[in-house]
Amino acid sequence: MQLLSEDDLNLREMSREELDRAWDLWFDLAQATNEFDPPYSHGVFVPLEGATRRPARPARDT
Amino acid sequence: MKNLYFALTEEFNAQGTIALLASGQAVVYYRLAMMSKDGDWVLRETPEACGRVLEVLARHGAGYRPGAPLDVRWLCGGWSSHFEFLDAEGRRIRCDFVTRPPRVDLAEMEICFGRPPREGSLPVVDLESLIRMKRTQRAKDYPVIGELARLLPPERELEFTTDPDRLLELAPLYAEGSKRPAVQTATKGGAREEVVVALAREADRLQQADRVWLAAYQDASFGYLQEFVRQRLGDLPLFQAHESLCRLAERLLPPNPFPEVDDAAPERG
């Protein structure tokens, strides 16, 4: 099974700046599904269901 | 405009290499796919590295998500620590840390930590370690493993590929010495279907092993996590939460869920 589409393969030809801009756009769009994401994607708590989820804290000025 | 997880990696490592980019963001770094909304790092197992990461996260206004404290007393038992904040654009940033990634030889991580930094590059988990970390219970990780394997030299790709056609292509040239059952099936003249079955059995064995390993952590952390949520420790400022979490973990979180073995990490697969 091929993981990558023709568009994905173009990642290797991108400059670092192009890759950053592409990821930034992808990340913006991906925020739409936050509510449906599992609570953990890595680590030892991955099998846990959503009972322990807490809302994210707002950013502090840095 | 920058990948914020790449920027965090630079921040963590600004005073020396302590945090290796891993998992989904490493897949982005290796330019395979836009894969992950979270950031994962393998951290050097020292109090100083933990302190550095907490400082950086505190500057970003991060809070703990339910998980182990970022403290070597628990990280050395394979536990993971989890954090979250919103960036300046209100986007959710999740940061996860381990010091003992599953299925990875710690000596290989030390090699990664010891590599001198190169201009324009990030400290990142090496390909074979990244593949081993992705041998999880999740079916979606296995096609990624196949693509990561393509970046390896052919004799190493043969040991990790999940693509039966690629395995059949490489086996006649590079199979000498391989103990991998799917490779041995190919070299003994097995049909393609037999190689497919051998790879499926391998993936199933790895998935089952990961489930068993994680179940031990689930069982060991139940009471601790309940208290984490009841006390709303994720709502506290980071360093205050960290102190409270360490006190809670001293009472309720066993440092090593596998007391019968010294090294809690599951066997290299």
Q: Which two tokens stand for residue B212?
A: 């068993």
Let me know: does B183 contact B221? Beta carbons within 8 Å. no
pTM of this prediction? Answer: 0.89
Q: Which positions in chain A have a beta carbon within 8 angstroms of at least one beta carbon in chain B?
A: 1, 3-4, 8, 11-12, 14, 16, 19-24, 26-28, 30-31, 34, 37, 39-48, 51-52, 54, 56-60, 62
Query: Distance, in angstroms, between B192 CA and closest chain A CA?
Result: 14
pLDDT computed for residue B121 by the predictor: 87
User: Residues 6 or more apart from B260 whose CB is under 8 A from it?
Assistant: none
CA–CA gap between residue A37 and residue B16 (Å, rounded): 33
- Tens of pLDDT, residue by residue over B19-31, are 999 999 999 999 9
3-state secondary structure of B106: helix
State both tokens at B187: 């070299």
Beta strands in B79-227 (DSSP E): 81-86, 92-98
The 10s digit of each residue's pLDDT in B111-135 is: 889 888 777 789 999 999 999 999 9
- CA-CA-CA-CA torsion sign (B94, A31, B14, B108): positive
B66 touches B76 (CB < 8 A)? no
Query: What's the order of all strands across the beta sheet hosting B19-22?
Result: B19-22, B38-43, B92-98, B81-86, B63-65
The whole-chain average pLDDT of chain B stands at 93
Please state the φ and ψ torsions of residue B262, each to the nearest 5 degrees.
Answer: -75, -40
Q: Please count the residue pairs, one from chain A and one from chain B, whose beta carbons lie less than 8 angstroms apart.
A: 146
A44–B143 CB contact, under 8 Å: no
In angstroms, the separation between the Cα of residue B186 and the nearest Cα of chain A is: 19
SS (H, E, C) chain A: CCCCCHHHHHHHHCCHHHHHHHHHHHHHHHHHHHHHCCCCCCCCCCCCCHHHCCCCCCCCCC
Contact A34, B92 (CB under 8 A): yes
* pLDDT tens digits, one per residue of B136-148: 988 889 989 999 9
**Residue owning tokens 């990634």:** B101
Contacts of A25 (CB under 8 A, 6+ apart): none
Distances (CA, A) of B43 to B56, B62, B75: 14, 17, 9
Distance CA B88, CA B105 (A): 37
Q: How confident is the model at residue A51 (pLDDT cuts 50, 70, 90)?
A: very low
Task: Name the percent of chain B lying above pLDDT 90.
Answer: 84
CA distance A55 to chain B (A): 9
Residue B182: partners with Cβ closer than 8 Å, 6 or more residues away: B164, B167, B195, B198, B199, B202
